[in-house]
């Protein structure tokens, strides 16, 4: 299948969602800096898993290290995130375009 793959590095898993009181110009500048110095990561999917107590399924990753390192760099940045109760778990979920969530 030719589906877009997205690997979570921030949000509901790990550092939490972006705090809304940040200066958008500074935020996008920081994100652009991350993107410019981050080389592409080649990833291989592992087994399909399910988040506990949900109907959300995801692909695990065989090599989580590069994603954990990127996640760690993001946590050290000037970007502010809300607190999150869930530990970071590199994974890939896919939502079909125009599908209800």
| For residues 43-47, average pLDDT | 90
Domain positions in the chain are 6-93
**Looking at residue 52, what DSSP letter applies?**
T
| pTM of the shown model | 0.76
pLDDT at 95: 54
Task: Look up residue 54 and give its DSSP letter.
Answer: S
With a CB cutoff of 8 Å and minimum separation 6, the contacts of 20 are: none
Instruction: Return the pLDDT at 66.
Output: 92
Q: Which of 18, 8, 11 is nearest to 68 (CA)?
A: 8
Report how far Cα 16 is from the mean position of its chain's Cα atoms: 10
Q: pLDDT-based confidence at 2, cuts 50/70/90?
A: low
The yes-or-no verdict on residue 86 having pLDDT over 90 is: no
């Amino acid at each position: 299948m030719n589906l877009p793959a997205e690997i979570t590095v921030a949000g509901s898993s790990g550092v939490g969602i972006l705090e809304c009181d940040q200066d958008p110009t500074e935020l996008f500048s920081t994100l652009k800096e991350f993107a410019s110095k981050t080389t592409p990561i080649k990833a291989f999917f592992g087994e399909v898993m399910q988040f506990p107590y949900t109907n959300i399924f995801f692909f695990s990753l065989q090599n989580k290290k590069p994603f954990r390192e990127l996640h760690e760099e993001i946590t050290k940045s000037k970007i502010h995130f809300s607190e999150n109760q869930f530990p970071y778990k590199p994974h890939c979920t896919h939502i079909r375009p125009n599908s209800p969530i």
